[in-house]
Amino acid sequence: MNVPHHGVVTAFDDAVGLGEVERADGVRFPFHCIELADGTRTIELSTAVTFGLLCKLGRYEASTVTRA
């Protein structure tokens, strides 16, 4: 079961669709715009989000990123 995590968007590049979320404990996870659960392809910095974690190629990435 994928436990939901809470964090804030700390980076997002509209041109390439890559971003980063940071949990309260300071750990950061990258994500791609296709992981935005509402179907949009962009998100603003400092947006509070909930997300799951997915292991890809040996590293964790944020998945199913949802605005809180």
Q: Each residue of 5-58: pLDDT tens digit?
A: 999 999 999 999 999 999 999 999 999 999 999 999 999 999 999 999 999 899
For the chain, what is the radius of gyration of the CA atoms? 11
Q: What is the arrangement of strands in the sheet containing 5-13, beginning at the earlier edge strand? A: 28-32, 18-23, 5-13, 48-56, 59-67
**pTM, to two decimals:** 0.92
Q: Can you give the pLDDT at residue 52?
A: 96
Match 């910095």 to its residue by tokens. 45
Confidence at residue 3, expressed as pLDDT on a 0 to 100 scale: 86
Domains of the chain, by residue range, sit at 5-67
CATH topology of domain 5-67: OB fold (Dihydrolipoamide Acetyltransferase, E2P) (2.40.50)
Residue 65 has pLDDT above 90, yes or no: yes
